[in-house]
Structure 1
Amino acid sequence: MKTFRRIFLIVIDSLGIGEMPDAADYGDVGADTLGHISECADTFDIPNLRKLGMANLKQLKQVKPIAEPVGYYAVLREASASKDTMTGHWEMMGLKVTTPFKTFSENGFPEDLIAELERRTGHKVIGNKSVSGTVILDELGEEEIATGHMIVYTSADSVLQICGNEETFDLKELYRCCEIARELTMREEWKVGRVIARPYVGKKRGEFKRTSNRHDYALKPFGATALNVLKDAGLDVIAVGKINDIFVGEGITRAERSKSSVHGMEQTIDIAGEDFKGLCFVNLVDFDALWGHRRNPQGYKEELERFDVKLGELLEKLGSEDLLMITADHGNDPTYKGTDHTREKVPLLLYSPAFNGGGCIGELDTFAVIGATIADNFGVSMPEKTIGYSIGNKLD
């Protein structure tokens, strides 16, 4: 196996490529994020993803497979019992989640949790239901601004989300309330995967806009991951986007917040110009937050095209000691019913200028091949009780 000095792992948040075998258990039969985006579009300009083998991996209406892809490609199935962000990322780094995090999408949060949240924060809670973040702002944003009440809502994911207007509620106060909510939801019967601060600006319905000052308060991983052993070995582990939030800083040596997916790619391109040894782990959230949940296939397609432009810039920065891995953490089909994630397989694209060729690796049974391959590359052992196996010997 060739070894690399630097590995760049980019997660295109929610870019599924077709239903998992157990999709029926999640109500997601027929979901296909990338396939349905392609079907809805007249054009689809992703030349850099194409040359890495994306159209060889997934049949697309407008994009033909390439005869000689410059990279390797595989389909990954999720071994864990969920379809949320934390589960997908944790599995990539070796942790298998067997019990899904708690959700409250049917009836909202229990009255005793809401009462305690109100008592501790000093704010009356309004909302408390499963709904789109943009919809609840239009519904309740004016009331929150006028009264100082606090918008709390959830989704089909395991999340408790709190909105706060940056001008009237105050960002520090929003974070304080979220910290209290995180403390309360550590109780087993209320334990959600993430509490999310959702700041916004605007004064009236139709003008509200969420800002980049979002902050996730996630559960810590229940065990050591590939990130921990990389850090312990003295390697750099650079987190871009919400990676640091997802792992609550565990195994991270440096964290960079992103304002958007394009900004996240610009940060990654800048990091590629630095001298480091280890992993640069990137999450690009706009695909999921702006387009998947909002069921906007055109917006999703255009975001992928913007990503492809930046991908081309990143490829020019990579040298023979670099490995690029591109994947996703779950699906979020923008043409599907509801607003939830979808239980899908995900792509894995691998590229290095050092490769002599490329081709299909096949369909693999866990996202954890990613973390195991990274650990193998740097000569460190995966922690006990993790899953996964290296595919480094398949890369020529």
Structure 2
Amino acid sequence: MGNCYVVVIDGLGVGAQEDAAEYGDEGENTLGHVCSQTGCRLPNLGKMGLGNIIPLASVPPEEKPLSAYGKMREVSAGKDSTTGHWELAGVQLEKPFPTYPNGFPNEVIEAFCREIGIEKVLCNRPYSGTEVIADYGKEHLETGYPIVYTSADSVFQVAAHEGVTPVEQLYEWCKQVRKKILTGEHGVGRVIARPFTGEPGGFERLSDRRHDFSLAPPEHNIINNLYNRGFKTYSIGKIIDLFAEKGFTQFRRTKTNAEGISQLLSLMSAAENSFVFVNLIDTDQKYGHRQDPEGFAECLQEIDRAIPAIVSKLKDDDLLILTGDHGNDPTSESTDHSREFVPLLVFPSSSVQAMNLGTRSTFSDVACTVADFFELEESYPGHSFLKE
């Protein structure tokens, strides 16, 4: 038994799922469109088999790929990060987290105002995170009222200028609304603190001080089960937030993909019989939502350049799984996530049942595989792709 690494490239989809039209995402293809529009070269991921999963304009298929390859279907209702990561961990959701295309109802906003001792909030409707501070930031500075907004995802976001509301106070507000208000019927996937700085006309989000407060996942998931049986479990990036800080021996939040990759390489030098769950968020947060295919391509190339170093640190009995959590097509007219299949690369390929893993029926095949790797008896929906 060695270490199992699951690395999620956030927002990396490989084509619309069969039910994409129900989500308004018919025809979306994050990786396919990025490659065709930018000519993105990914030689190392290509050698692993990325170009074997779907046809890619700038990443040809490999005759003898180094990894087993395939794609996975999301069966949970939704297309957000929490839903995707939970399904990877073995939790499938029959109902989506609630969303608020018309803003949050009065009872939610009034309860929030009472809880933090204010008269009102600004905005309260779906909005771009950069545009909302540009449009409401000046009024926020003048009144002190926080900016509350949402998106197509199940999120309650609170933006406040660090000079008006200290960041720790903003975190406390979000903790309280998560704990006391946004539960049950209004149990959104995440409450997100969004501090910003600057002056009117030049406001800037403090992405490194953003903090997500997730709904706690069901207890039966691969992370909790590994942790409760004494295995070391590590989170790198925002994973810890998506699982409400539960089930991890140690976590390392990161500001950039470069930092996440550096933390992973450092941990790989010391980890033994451990599970390491990594999220590389820049593709989604910096480029997918901002409709920047060139930036998305450059971000993928940064990850591609790190692949040789990552593979070189793998021990003979280690397992590496590269995948995504949803799509976020930067060439789309929408700035939201997209309902897409996600890529699957498993290294070394000798560990799995077939070189071409096909289309997996659920993201939870990852949880089944991790359980199989660590010889756990717990079952999850789906099937392991390790050799028996």
TM-score (norm 1): 0.94
Alignment RMSD, CA only? 1.8
| Deviation of 1:46 (Å) | 1.2
Structure 1 residues 333 and 29: alpha-carbon distance in aligned structure 2, compared to 1, 3 A threshold? same
| Deviation of 1:303 (Å) | 0.7
| Deviation of 1:358 (Å) | 7.6
CA distance in 2, matches of 1:192, 1:328: 22
1:301 aligns with 2:276: no
Structure 1 residues 291 and 238: alpha-carbon distance in aligned structure 2, compared to 1, 3 A threshold? same
1:30 aligns with 2:27: yes
1:198-209 equivalent positions in 2, closer than 5 A: 198-209=194-205
What is the SS of the residue equivalent to 2:260?
Answer: helix
Q: Which residue of 1 aligns with 2:37?
A: 40
| Deviation of 1:260 (Å) | 1.1
Q: Which residue of 2 aligns with 1:112?
A: 107
Contact 2:50 2:59 in 1 (8 A): no
CA distance in 1, matches of 2:203, 2:85: 34
| Deviation of 1:211 (Å) | 2.5
| Deviation of 1:10 (Å) | 0.3
Contact 2:156 2:191 in 1 (8 A): yes
| Deviation of 1:338 (Å) | 2.0
Cα deviation digits, residues 287-341 of structure 1 (max 9, x gap): 1111111111111111111111122221221221221100011111111222211
| Deviation of 1:356 (Å) | 10
Cα deviation digits, residues 200-248 of structure 1 (max 9, x gap): 2222323423321111111111241011121122111101111111111
| Deviation of 1:25 (Å) | 1.1
Cα deviation digits, residues 115-154 of structure 1 (max 9, x gap): 2211211233101110110110111122222321101100
CA distance in 2, matches of 1:175, 1:55: 42
CA distance in 1, matches of 2:59, 2:185: 47
Q: Among 372, 377, 381, which residue is 1:387 paired with?
A: 381
Contact 1:185 1:192 in 2 (8 A): no
1:230-269 equivalent positions in 2, closer than 5 A: 230-269=226-265
Contact 1:7 1:278 in 2 (8 A): yes
Contact 1:137 1:205 in 2 (8 A): no
Stretch of structure 1 that moved more, 373-382 or 345-354: 345-354
CA distance in 1, matches of 2:13, 2:84: 12
Q: Among 171, 175, 179, which residue is 2:171 paired with?
A: 175
What is the SS of the residue equivalent to 1:320?
Answer: coil
1:269-348 equivalent positions in 2, closer than 5 A: 269-348=265-344
Structure 1 residues 354 and 201: alpha-carbon distance in aligned structure 2, compared to 1, 3 A threshold? farther
Cα deviation digits, residues 5-54 of structure 1 (max 9, x gap): 1011100011000010111111111010001111111x312111111100
Contact 1:320 1:353 in 2 (8 A): no
| Deviation of 1:171 (Å) | 0.6
Q: Which residue of 1 aligns with 2:94?
A: 98
Cα deviation digits, residues 102-122 of structure 1 (max 9, x gap): 0002x1011121122112112
| Deviation of 1:161 (Å) | 0.3
Runs of 4+ in 1 over 3 A off after TM superposition: 184-187, 353-358
Unaligned stretches of 5+ residues in structure 1: none
1:130-145 equivalent positions in 2, closer than 5 A: 130-145=126-141
Structure 1 residues 168 and 62: alpha-carbon distance in aligned structure 2, compared to 1, 3 A threshold? same
Unaligned stretches of 5+ residues in structure 2: none
What is the SS of the residue equivalent to 1:319?
Answer: coil
Q: Which residue of 1 aligns with 2:369?
A: 373
* Equivalent AA in structure 2 for residue 392 of structure 1: L
Contact 1:158 1:194 in 2 (8 A): yes
Stretch of structure 1 that moved more, 201-210 or 256-265: 201-210
Structure 1 residues 122 and 40: alpha-carbon distance in aligned structure 2, compared to 1, 3 A threshold? same
CA distance in 2, matches of 1:51, 1:175: 43
Contact 2:189 2:215 in 1 (8 A): yes
Structure 1 residues 272 and 311: alpha-carbon distance in aligned structure 2, compared to 1, 3 A threshold? same
Contact 2:68 2:352 in 1 (8 A): no
| Deviation of 1:359 (Å) | 2.5
Q: Which residue of 2 aligns with 1:122?
A: 117
CA distance in 1, matches of 2:381, 2:11: 22
* Percentage of matched positions with identical amino acids: 39
CA distance in 2, matches of 1:186, 1:120: 12
Structure 1 residues 328 and 233: alpha-carbon distance in aligned structure 2, compared to 1, 3 A threshold? same
Structure 1 residues 329 and 290: alpha-carbon distance in aligned structure 2, compared to 1, 3 A threshold? same
Count of residues in Structure 1 that have an aligned counterpart in Structure 2: 387
Contact 2:12 2:31 in 1 (8 A): yes
* Equivalent AA in structure 1 for residue 320 of structure 2: L
Contact 2:3 2:271 in 1 (8 A): no
Contact 1:333 1:341 in 2 (8 A): yes
